[in-house]
């Protein structure tokens, strides 16, 4: 039963890694999937992160427990099982603390620099946008709230500005998880403030 449960836990763990890759829009397979799932953990949904961390502890804990049993029976080091129990307890404590902190941050709202950089590059590609004077992306759970203030040519008409707003809002809302967009305008002061990240894709 222990071995069957370990196999099941490992299967769920692999499925969680695949979900993380999906949330991060990656097409990872094999050993690459393991590395990418750890690297992209912050981009996954809270529920996916929870399952991933739980099964990471379950899988690693099972391996540690089995090794401890073998060591305690083959060698005189009978304390191995006790040490293994402590290690598994510490891993569980880490998962609970990690999930609590992430949920607390999501409930209160936290700035998301990755999404902000992505949107900044997208907005600056618009031919009518001269600069970005303000860009805030707040993440609450799986959702993002975006507030941006762009600088445009002061000679534009209200109708032209409205067209720019509609165009940008549509492009921003196409990004996954964005539910609220506020766009403001300011006249171009001829001083470039926003710099697009060089690794922006």
Per-residue pLDDT of 85-111, as tens digits, reads: 888 888 877 777 766 666 555 544 566
Q: What is the pLDDT of residues 63-74, one digit of tens each?
A: 888 888 888 888
Full set of structural domains in the chain with CATH: 2-108 (no CATH), 111-187 (3.30.70.1350)
Rounded mean pLDDT, 11-36: 81
> For residue 87, how far is the Cα from the chain centroid?
27
pLDDT at site 102: 63
pLDDT digit string, tens, across residues 174-197: 888 888 899 999 999 888 888 876
Q: Against a cut of 0.75, is the pTM above it?
A: no
Please write the tens of the pLDDT for every residue from 42-61. 777 767 777 787 778 877 88
- Is the pLDDT at 200 greater than 50? The verdict is no
Query: What is the C-alpha to C-alpha distance for residues 145 and 130, in angstroms, rounded to an integer?
Result: 23
Read off the pLDDT of each residue in 117-140 and give the average, rounded to a whole number.
90
Give the three-state DSSP class for 190: coil
Q: Does the pLDDT of residue 160 top 70, yes or no?
A: yes
Give counts: helices (H), strands (E), the chain: 6, 4
Q: Are 111 and 135 in contact (CB under 8 A)?
A: no
């Amino acid at each position: 039963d222990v071995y069957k449960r370990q196999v099941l836990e490992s299967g769920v763990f692999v499925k969680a890694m695949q979900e993380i890759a999906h949330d991060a829009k990656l097409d990872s397979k094999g050993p690459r999937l393991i590395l990418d799932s750890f690297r992209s953990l912050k981009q996954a949904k809270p529920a996916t992160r929870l399952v991933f961390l739980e099964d990471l502890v379950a899988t690693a804990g099972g391996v540690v427990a089995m090794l401890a049993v073998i060591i305690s029976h083959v060698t005189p080091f009978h304390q191995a099982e006790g040490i293994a129990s402590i290690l598994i307890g510490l891993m569980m404590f880490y998962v609970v603390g990690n999930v609590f902190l992430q949920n607390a941050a999501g409930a209160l709202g936290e700035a998301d620099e990755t999404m902000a950089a992505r949107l900044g590059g997208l907005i600056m590609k618009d031919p009518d946008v001269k600069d970005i004077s303000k860009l805030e992306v707040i993440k609450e759970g799986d959702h993002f709230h975006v507030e941006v203030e762009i600088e445009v040519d002061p000679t534009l008409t209200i109708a032209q500005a409205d067209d720019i707003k509609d165009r940008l809002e549509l492009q921003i809302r196409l990004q996954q998880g964005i539910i609220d967009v506020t766009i403001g305008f300011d006249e171009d002061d001829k001083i470039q403030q926003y710099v697009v990240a060089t690794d922006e894709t």
